[in-house]
Structure 1
Amino acid sequence: MVRVGYLVSRFPTFTETFVLDEMLALEALGAEITLFPLLRERPRATHPQLAHLRAEVVYSRFVSGPILRANLALALRRPWRYLRTLIETFARVAPSRNFTLGAAGIFLKSVYIAHEAERRGIGRLHAHFCTHPTLAAWIAHRLTGARYSFTAHGSDLHVDQTMLAEKLRRADFAVMISRYNRDFTLARVGARWAERLRVIHCGIDTGAFAPLPPRADAGDGVLHILCVASLRRVKGHVHLLRACAQLAAEGRDWTLTLVGDGRLRAELEAECRALGIAPRVRFLGQLTRPEVTACLRDCDVVALTSVQDARGRREGIPVSLMEALAVERPVVASRLSGIPELVEHGRTGLLAAPGEPAAIAAALARVADHPEEARALARAGRARVLAEFDLSDNAARLHAALAASPG
Structure 2
Amino acid sequence: MTPNHENVIGFILKGYPRLSETFIVNEILLLEELGYKLHIFALRNPGESKVHESVTRVRANVTYIPDYFWRFFFSFISANLRLWLRRPGLYWPAFRLALVRSLRQRSSSTIKRFAQSAYLVQKCLPATRVTHFHAHFSHGPTTVAYFVAWLTGMPYSFSAHAKDIYLQEHGMLREKIRRAQFVVTCTEFNRQHLLRVAGDGAPVYRVYHGNNLQLFKPAPAAPQNDSPPVILSVGRFVPKKGFPVLLRALHQVQQKGLRFRCYIIGGGPMQGELEKLSAELGLRECVEFRGQMSQTELLAYYRQAGLFTLACEVQNDGDRDGIPNVLVEAMAMGLPVVSTSISGIPELIESGVNGLLVPEKDPEALAEGIETLLRQPEMARRLGLAGRAKVERDFDAKRNVQKIGELLRGAVANPARVAGAGRTNLSSGLLRAGKNAPVTAM
Normalization by structure 2: what TM-score? 0.87
Contact 1:5–1:117, Cα closer than 8 Å, also in 2 = no
Distance 1:347 1:50, change over 3 A: same
The 1:363/1:206 distance shift into structure 2, 3 A limit, reads same
Quote the offset at 1:326 in angstroms. Answer: 0.7
1:164 matched to 2:178? no
Aligned to 2:337: 331
Partner of residue 243, structure 1: 249
State the shift of 1:215 in Å: 4.1
One-letter identity of the residue aligned with 2:229? L
Does residue 185 of the first structure (1) align with residue 191 of the second (2)? no
> What SS does the aligned partner of 2:23 have?
helix
Give the alignment of 1:224-263 within 5 angstroms.
Answer: 224-263=230-269
Q: Distance in 2 between matches of 1:52 and 1:333?
A: 33
Q: Which residue is equivalent to 2:134? A: 126
Aligned: 1:21 with 2:29: no
Q: Is the contact between residue 130 and residue 152 of structure 1 (CA under 8 Å) also seen in structure 2?
A: yes
Contact 2:309 2:338 in 1 (8 A): yes
For residues 99-130 of structure 1, the C-alpha deviation after alignment (integer angstroms, 9 at most, x for no partner) is x4212322221112233235423120000000
Q: Which of 79, 88, 97 lines up with 1:88 in the alignment?
A: 97
Which one of the candidate residues 48, 51, 59 is aligned to 1:54?
59
1:221 positional shift: 7.2
Does structure 1 residue 384 correspond to structure 2 residue 393?
no
Aligned to 2:49: 44
Distance 1:241 1:376, change over 3 A: same
Which of 386, 395, 399 aligns to 2:401? It is 395
Report the Cα distance in structure 2 between the residues aligned to 1:184 and 1:90, rounded to whole angstroms. Answer: 28
1:275-354 equivalences in 2 (<5 Å): 275-354=281-360
Name the structure 2 match of 1:267.
Answer: 273
Deviation at 1:71, TM superposition (A): 2.1
Does the 8 Å contact 2:320/2:343 carry over to 1?
yes
1:178-210 Cα shifts (integer Å, max 9, x gaps): 0000111222332242xx001011111112122
Give, in angstroms, the shift of residue 96 of structure 1: 4.1
CA contact (8 A) 1:118 1:144 kept: no
Question: Could you tell me how far apart the structure 1 residues matched to 2:101 and 2:391 are?
Answer: 39
Kept in 1, the 8 Å contact 2:98–2:111? The answer is: no
Against the structure 1 CA distance between its residues 33 and 75, is the aligned structure 2 distance closer, same or farther, given a 3 Å change threshold? same
Q: Secondary structure at the match of 1:41?
A: coil
**C-alpha displacement of 1:136:** 0.3
Deviation at 1:401, TM superposition (A): 0.2
Assess if the C-alpha contact under 8 Å between 2:16 and 2:45 holds in 1: yes
For residue 214 of structure 1, report the CA deviation from its aligned partner: 3.6
Q: Is the 8 A contact 1:117 1:123 kept in 2?
A: no
- The alpha carbon displacement at 1:258 in A equals 0.7
Which residues of structure 1 form unaligned runs of 5+?
none
RMSD over aligned Cα atoms = 1.7
Distance 1:86 1:310 in 2: 33
Q: C-alpha separation between the residues in 2 aligned to 1:30 and 1:109?
A: 29
Whether the aligned pair in 2 keeps the contact of 1:214 and 1:300 (CA below 8 Å) is no
Distance 1:337 1:297, change over 3 A: same
Partner Cα separation in structure 1 for residue 116 and residue 29 of structure 2: 25
Give the total of aligned pairs. Answer: 402
Q: 1:95 to 1:206 in 2, by over 3 A?
A: farther
Structure-1 residue corresponding to 2:88: 79
**1:233–1:309 contact (8 Å) kept in structure 2:** yes
